[in-house]
Amino acid sequence: SAVISQKPSRDICQRGTSLTIQCQVDSQVTMMFWYRQQPGQSLTLIATANQGSEATYESGFVIDKFPISRPNLTFSTLTVSNMSPEDSSIYLCSVEDWGTYNEQFFGPGTRLTVL
Amino acid sequence: TQLLEQSPQFLSIQEGENLTVYCNSSSVFSSLQWYRQEPGEGPVLLVTVVTGGEVKKLKRLTFQFGDARKDSSLHITAAQPGDTGLYLCAGVANAGNMLTFGGGTRLMVKP
């Protein structure tokens, strides 16, 4: 299984600022995803990060708020823009395993607190 | 309304007790997965079930996929404090291609 790292692991930010979260995978993967997990809740898919093209966003998430980059098959970034306290959450990146049942492997997450 | 409904949402038990977590849907799934997430970490895949009626065992954990592939259960025998965590079921519906997560079951096992 792929090994996934995220940076930063946690941050405390002021409202109105932006934070970029990095996700690095130790092998090339086709599918990378970004999720949000609010305290005590399950995972909500924000978007699929596509290499060489614009990310595919889920309902309720827009590119202006959550711009995503995917410059190659091992790296992606998610930016949380113009933050408000409602953006306080854990942000997780994941990758899909090759040729299996959509099984995903997750990074450790980035815990974001917006004051 | 979530595509995958998990129950119970919360469970607090004593060490040594048995428990069952349920994951139900009105949709048919081509496969279903169970993950466990511990505080400060991402979810970790425990098992994937793909065949209706399939039963898989992972030490004290038993996973079952319903005959109609619309539901699944996770049974833990003689729970231990190390089993504490958030258990998530997830699957791809036959009509879709994206992984959908259930609402999660938060388990606490007290020593």
Using the predicted structure, report yes or no on whether residue B18 has a pLDDT greater than 80.
yes
For residues B62 and B48, what is the distance between their CA atoms, to the nearest angstrom?
12
B48 contact residues in A (CB cutoff 8 A) = 100-101, 103
Q: Do B33 and A103 touch (CB under 8 A)?
A: yes
Q: Taking CB atoms and an 8 Å cutoff, what residues of chain B touch A4?
A: 42
Cα atoms in the Cβ-side hemisphere of radius 13 Å centred on A5:
5
Check CB contact under 8 Å for A102 and B43.
no
- Residue B55 clears pLDDT 70, i.e. is over it: yes
Position B103 confidence tier, pLDDT thresholds 50, 70, 90: very high
Q: Which two tokens stand for residue A56?
A: 């595919």
CA distance A64 to chain B (A): 23
How confident is the model over B14-39, as a mean pLDDT?
A: 95
Residues of chain A with Cβ-Cβ distance to B30 below 8 Å are: 101
Q: What is the pLDDT of residues A8-40, one digit of tens each?
A: 999 999 999 999 999 999 999 988 999 999 988
Question: pLDDT digits over A61-103, tens only?
Answer: 999 999 999 999 999 999 999 999 999 999 999 998 766 678 8
Region of poorest pLDDT, from B2-6, B13-17, B23-27, B32-36 = B2-6
Residue A58, token pair as written in the block: 């889920």
Chain A CB within 8 Å of residue B85 CB: no
